[in-house]
Amino acid sequence: MAVIVQNAADVELFGLQQEEKKKTHGDASELVSDGGFKMPENNAFGQSFRDYNNADSERQEIVERTYRLQHINQTYDFVKQMREEYGKLDKAEMSIWECCELLNDVVDESDPDLDEPQIMHLLQSAEAIRKDYPDEDWLHLTALIHDLGKILLLPQFGQLPQWAVVGDIFPVGCAFDKSNVHYKYFEENPDYKNPNYNTKNGVYSQGCGLNNVLMSFGHDDYMYLVAKENGTTLPSAALFIIRYHSLYPLHKCGAYEHLMNGEDRENLKWLKIFNNYDLYSKSKVPIDVEEVKPYYLSLVEKVVNLVVDGNTVVYSIQSFVESM
């Protein structure tokens, strides 16, 4: 039972056939300039984007509290336990659109740029990228689902605390990089003083590839697990986007690059493109959900048609944190 299933020859998946895949992957950096996306100077609150120090004060307090708790509690051991528990994906089933609708009730407390329900964000980013890359429907679908992992915040999914679901992510098991937002709070993380974990490479080796690196747990990793375990047919760049779109220290500041391998570097080009739409499409201008719904349902349908044995995604809903 899966929405996105590895299927015979990946037939015409999202118009991205193997040959084209190579071509478009190779051209990723060129596409950055071709996209024509105009970045707005200010966010929905009239401030600069990702300003963690001078944002509207009430909002800033909420955001800072989320990061403080995230930095203190996301340890190597915590991440391992969470991945094990949530990797089971044995607690609930639903369609992609149903899941999008659940995000009507989710507000992300790590985000200084948006306090709208998350379904708006999904559609705003998907519509923005669709406008500039009309033929890359795999990108539209990737944008639509990239933040679905935030359902972990909802009561019916265990109601994980915000710090275990949202916010920028970072590798655990090696030294925290100073470019992380609100870096100072890592000093209270038990791993900060652990000699196994606080060197540049920590438990990893140079160039080992991000796939071998544990990231702080959250909506990125969870949605990646959901897609992968359901045998997704999305291209590897899409999975990379889903899994690392919150890794701002790397894709915005170049931190942790020594852990990447060649495939990561290729996929990073797509992530950098995607990031413009993820970040700069956040605004107070709403999308008419009913108007765009048929298009996204048709994308989902396209995936479902490839499925052999069902049309649902499996989500883990067990409240691991409560049972810890």
Ligand X SMILES: O[C@H]1[C@H](O)[C@@H](O)[C@H](O)[C@@H](O)[C@H]1O
Annotated binding site for substrate: 50, 108-110, 150, 167-168, 245-246
Smallest distance from ligand X to CB 95, Å: 22
- CA separation for the pair 241, 275 (Å, rounded): 9
Q: Does 167 bind ligand X (CB under 6 A)?
A: yes
Smallest distance from ligand X to CB 246, Å: 3
Please say whether the beta carbons of 299 and 238 come within 8 A. no
Binding residues vs Fe ion (CB under 5 A): 147, 278
- DSSP per residue over 269-306, as a string? HHHHHHHHHHHHT--S----HHHHHHHHHHHHHHHHHT
CA distances for 162 relative to 62, 73, 192, angstroms = 10, 12, 21
Q: Does 245 bind ligand X (CB under 6 A)?
A: yes
Per CB under 6 A, the list member of 14, 185, 197, 248 interacting with ligand X is 248
Residue 78 vs 244, nearer CB to Fe ion: 244
Crossing angle for the helix pair 219-229 and 76-86, to the nearest 10 degrees: 40
Q: Does 182 bind ligand X (CB under 6 A)?
A: no
Q: Does 168 bind ligand X (CB under 6 A)?
A: yes
Smallest distance from Fe ion to CB 235, Å: 19
By CB atoms closer than 10 A (0-12, 13-18, 19+), residue 133 is buried
Residues 90-109 that bind ligand X (CB under 6 A): 108
Residue 111 vs 221, nearer CB to ligand X: 111
CA angle 116, 224, 132 (to 5 degrees): 60
Q: Does 158 bind ligand X (CB under 6 A)?
A: no
Binding partner of residue 110 among Fe ion, ligand X, none, CB under 5 to 8 Å per kind?
A: ligand X
Per CB under 6 A, the list member of 64, 111, 191, 264 interacting with ligand X is 111
CA distances for 158 relative to 9, 12, 95, 317, 321, angstroms = 37, 37, 19, 6, 8
Smallest distance from ligand X to CB 168, Å: 4
Please say whether the beta carbons of 4 and 303 come within 8 A. yes
Residue 25 vs 50, nearer CB to ligand X: 50
Q: Does 221 bind ligand X (CB under 6 A)?
A: no
Q: Does 110 bind ligand X (CB under 6 A)?
A: yes
Residue 13 vs 79, nearer CB to Fe ion: 79
Q: Are strands 313-315 and 92-94 parallel, antiparallel or unpaired?
A: antiparallel
Looking at beta carbons, which residue is closest to ligand X?
246
Q: Which of 95, 143, 137 is nearest to 295 (CA)?
A: 137
- Stretch of 99-107, 191-199, 230-238, 244-252 contacting ligand X, by CB under 6 A: 244-252
- CA separation for the pair 257, 125 (Å, rounded): 26
Q: Does 147 bind ligand X (CB under 6 A)?
A: yes
Q: Is the Cα torsion angle 272, 143, 213, 150 positive or negative in sign?
A: positive
Residue 23 vs 178, nearer CB to ligand X: 178
Residue 2 vs 148, nearer CB to ligand X: 148
Q: Does 246 bind ligand X (CB under 6 A)?
A: yes
Residue ranges in contact with ligand X by CB under 6 A: 108, 110-111, 147, 166-168, 245-246, 248
